[in-house]
């Protein structure tokens, strides 16, 4: 039967006769296959028709072959580029332990002694697994791997046979049961974590279905209309806006400019730029930017601390001790890379009116560089789930969640009642949130109010950020555990804080992820007496990844890289968790996450509109050429502190361990285990070679 585009449409002629009318569809010439009239040479399978069809098929096949060759060429080119980058990394020899500080002088995220011990353990584990692989291959060649062959080994002469027989009996009697017990324990923790994630997703679905969201007081919302110019200033409470920053030359202009353009009566809000920079050039540029906005009539102050006691917490604490703070009712915090929309205050502050027990209103983050590279895409998946599901569900049903440290509005009374900012941990935002919750204050989360910011684009910056985010909660748990027990909040709130908020999501998650997929799974290949079910290796992780990716549906093509990368990051998270829990290494050091200064689409539009205005009406934050010229005249940064891609030894060691276990799994004919170990090993290898994220031109 001819295809639809080559069929004839037959009907009566114009004069009503029986002459057939052929209607040709508008299709490419190579796709047109007309059915010839009866009796013609090409009718009924004539030679001309067959020749024409053969030529069409030939052209289609050639076109497909050309496309396939193009894809293969692209894949080969990408593989060669990756191989060349890997060779450069190895030749350069720069590792995660070859420098005492990064490009801006920030300290390491862990001590050299702790790093050496952990790396030594992984290296010994790797050597042991390679030895076992060699022994198992030799035994497999002799047929000794079969269970029935274990008793027969006693009759075989030779030291190797005796040693292998002893190893087999030890596996059956001791190693197998112990490993199986640890496997079962991790599987139980895994199932609890899966249930928690599923409940959160169901809660989010219920919120969407019922349209549940915080609603401001009707009078407050009406008083903040865009056309309500004549509304009294009493409808606009006094707001203090704080921008803490430290050596963030790339982003200070856009953040200060966005905050100064907030739609709020200028007499009713004050901006504090809290500069902890130790770079003289950066401090001078920030101060000049503040003075420029002061000349525009904005109430903005510049504060600089020479001694950075307490890092960000100390900076905020120092600013709150100013005498004029008592004149303000609310305080808003924006990190240096955050760019709030003009109506941010009008969308958040009204939620406090008539709700005296509300201490915090948190907005959602959005990211200007989420599509910059694979690393930022994978981070976006995690953070979309965090804000869309975790924060929204906890805010709607528990009125409690972890403060995100920025893009939030605090009632100053709640801060003071909770003890103010404390420098005892590196997660001062979570610390103040827990203490405020213990005092009975409620939190509101606004999922439809977004504030744009940046994601770390390099693996080094992301790794340091994750180390701080996972060591800090364990520090805080040690410090506030007894306070939670002694507090007057209800039993279920204590249970939520201790078991769900701290233990399950901050301790158990990195523990079982690392132990189950990076230790137990490879060991079960060398000790088959302990079995890890296929549904634990494949189906449950796939389901978890699917749930995590639901809030970011455009990221579905990255579901497999996301699953592998999360397991890869479990090494850093597990190490950080242990460091914070037992106060090891530099658990109390603060490392500022490097920014690249990405501008949002809104910034570009505002800049274009600003250029159209008369010069005396412009309020944008354009770069000062004199300042830039002065900066260029400064001595250049020491090239030894230049940013580089590095080799990460722990990730590389685990890569070879997993690949060794994958090779061993072939002897046991464990198909799904082999593929999981293979791809996970390759994932560790790519991360260990720093081939994910920003690539620095050497």
Residues acting as catalytic residues = 276, 429
Among positive and negative, which fits the CA dihedral 40, 41, 47, 49?
negative
φ, ψ of residue 626 in degrees (nearest 5): -65, -40
- Looking from the CA of 478 toward its CB, the CA atoms found within 13 Å total 14
Which residue reads 């002629």 in tokens?
A: 13
Q: Sheet holding 442-453: strands in order across?
A: 300-304, 269-275, 239-245, 330-333, 408-411, 358-367, 442-453, 339-340
Residues 6 or more apart in contact with residue 638 via CB below 8 angstroms: none
Q: Of all residues in the chain, what percent are helix, strand and coil, respectively (each to 5)?
A: 60, 10, 35
Q: Cβ(406)–Cβ(335) under 8 Å?
A: yes
Instruction: Determine the 3-state secondary structure of 389 from DSSP.
Output: helix
φ, ψ of residue 416 in degrees (nearest 5): -65, -40
Give the burial string for 319-332 (b: 16+ CB within 10 Å, else e).
Answer: bbeeeebeebebbb
Rounded to a whole number of angstroms, the distance between the first and last alpha carbons of the chain is 61
Rounded (5°) CA angle 622-625-629: 145
- The separation between CA 97 and the C-alpha centre of its own chain, rounded to angstroms, equals 24
Instruction: Determine the 3-state secondary structure of 634 from DSSP.
Output: coil
Would you list the DSSP string of 263-311?
SS-GGGEEEEEEE----HHHHHHHHHHHHHHHHTT--EEEEE-SS-TTH
Query: Shortest CA distance to 108 belongs to which of 99, 117, 116?
Result: 99
Give the burial string for 74-94 (b: 16+ CB within 10 Å, else e).
Answer: eeeeeeeeeeebbeebeeeeb
Helix axes 625-633, 280-295, angle to 10 degrees: 170
φ, ψ of residue 248 in degrees (nearest 5): -110, 65
CA-to-CA dists, residue 360 to 45, 329, 400, 433, 544, angstroms: 79, 12, 9, 9, 31
CA-to-CA dists, residue 323 to 272, 303, 319, 418, 419, angstroms: 13, 14, 9, 19, 17
Q: Please name the helix (run of DSSP H) or strand (run of DSSP E) that holds residue 411, with its range, or none.
A: strand 408-411
Query: Shortest CA distance to 186 belongs to which of 550, 570, 478?
Result: 570
Instruction: Determine the 3-state secondary structure of 600 from DSSP.
Output: coil
Q: Cβ(367)–Cβ(376) under 8 Å?
A: yes
By the 10 Å C-beta count (0-12 exposed, 13-18 middle, 19+ buried), 3 is classed as exposed
φ, ψ of residue 285 in degrees (nearest 5): -65, -40
Distance separating alpha carbons of residues 523 and 517, to the nearest angstrom: 10
């Amino acid at each position: 039967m001819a295809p639809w585009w080559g069929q004839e449409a037959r009907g009566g002629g114009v004069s009503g006769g029986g002459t057939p009318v052929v209607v040709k569809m508008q299709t490419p010439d190579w796709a047109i296959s007309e059915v010839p009239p009866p009796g013609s040479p090409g009718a009924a399978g004539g030679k001309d028709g067959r020749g024409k069809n053969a030529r069409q098929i030939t052209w289609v096949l050639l076109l497909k072959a050309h496309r396939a060759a193009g894809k293969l060429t692209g894949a080969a080119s990408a593989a060669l580029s990756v191989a060349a980058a890997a060779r450069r990394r190895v030749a350069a020899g720069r590792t995660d332990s070859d420098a005492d500080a990064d490009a801006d002088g920030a300290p390491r995220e862990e001590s050299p002694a702790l790093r050496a011990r952990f790396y030594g353990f992984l290296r010994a584990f790797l050597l042991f697994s390679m030895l076992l692989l060699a022994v198992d291959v030799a035994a497999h060649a002799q047929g000794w791997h079969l269970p029935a062959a274990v008793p027969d080994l006693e009759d075989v002469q030779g030291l190797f046979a005796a040693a292998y027989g002893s190893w087999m009996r030890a596996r059956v009697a001791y190693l197998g049961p112990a490993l199986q017990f640890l496997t079962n324990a991790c599987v139980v923790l895994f199932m609890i974590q899966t249930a928690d994630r599923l409940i959160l997703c169901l809660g989010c679905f219920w919120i969407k279905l019922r349209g549940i969201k915080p609603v401001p007081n009707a009078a407050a919302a009406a008083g903040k209309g865009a056309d309500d110019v004549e509304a009294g200033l009493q409808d606009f409470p006094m707001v203090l806006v704080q921008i803490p920053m430290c050596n963030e030359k790339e982003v200070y202009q856009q953040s200060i400019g966005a905050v100064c353009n907030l739609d709020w009566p200028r007499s009713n809000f004050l901006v504090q730029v809290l500069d902890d920079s130790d770079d003289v050039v950066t401090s001078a540029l920030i101060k000049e930017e503040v003075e420029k906005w002061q000349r525009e009539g904005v109430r903005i102050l510049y504060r600089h601390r020479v001694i950075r006691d307490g890092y960000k917490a100390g900076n905020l604490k120092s600013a709150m001790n100013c005498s004029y703070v008592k004149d303000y009712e609310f305080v808003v915090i924006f990190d240096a890379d955050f760019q709030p929309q003009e109506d941010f205050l009008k969308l958040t502050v009204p939620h406090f009116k008539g709700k005296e027990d509300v201490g915090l209103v948190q907005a959602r983050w959005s990211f200007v560089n989420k599509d910059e590279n694979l690393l930022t895409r994978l981070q976006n998946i995690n953070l979309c789930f965090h804000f869309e599901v975790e924060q929204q569900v906890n805010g709607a049903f528990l009125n409690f969640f972890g403060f995100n440290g920025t893009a939030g509005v605090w009632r100053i009374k709640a801060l003071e009642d909770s003890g103010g900012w404390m420098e005892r941990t590196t997660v001062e935002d979570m610390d103040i949130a827990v203490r405020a919750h213990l005092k009975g204050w409620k939190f509101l989360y606004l999922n439809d109010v977004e504030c744009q910011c940046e994601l770390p684009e390099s693996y080094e910056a992301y790794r340091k950020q994750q180390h701080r985010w996972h060591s800090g909660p364990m520090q805080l748990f040690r410090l506030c555990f007894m306070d939670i027990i002694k507090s007057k909040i209800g039993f279920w709130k204590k249970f939520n804080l201790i078991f769900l908020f701290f233990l399950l999501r901050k301790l158990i998650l990195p523990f079982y992820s690392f132990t189950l997929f990076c230790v137990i799974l490879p060991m079960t290949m060398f000790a088959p007496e302990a079995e890890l079910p296929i549904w634990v290796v494949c189906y449950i992780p796939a389901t978890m990844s699917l749930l995590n990716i639901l809030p970011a549906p455009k990221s579905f093509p990255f579901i497999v890289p996301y699953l592998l990368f999360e397991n890869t990051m479990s090494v850093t998270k597990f190490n950080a968790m242990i460091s914070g829990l037992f106060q090891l290494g530099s658990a109390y050091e603060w490392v500022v996450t490097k920014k690249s200064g990405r501008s949002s689409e809104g910034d570009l539009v505002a800049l274009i509109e600003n250029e159209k205005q008369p010069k005396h009406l412009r309020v944008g934050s354009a770069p000062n050429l004199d300042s830039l010229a002065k900066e260029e005249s400064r001595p250049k940064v020491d090239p030894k502190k230049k940013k580089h891609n590095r080799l990460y030894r722990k990730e590389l060691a685990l890569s070879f361990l997993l690949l060794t276990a994958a090779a061993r799994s072939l002897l046991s004919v464990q198909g799904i285990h082999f593929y999981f170990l293979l791809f996970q090993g390759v994932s560790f290898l790519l991360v260990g070679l720093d081939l994910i994220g920003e690539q620095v031109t050497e």
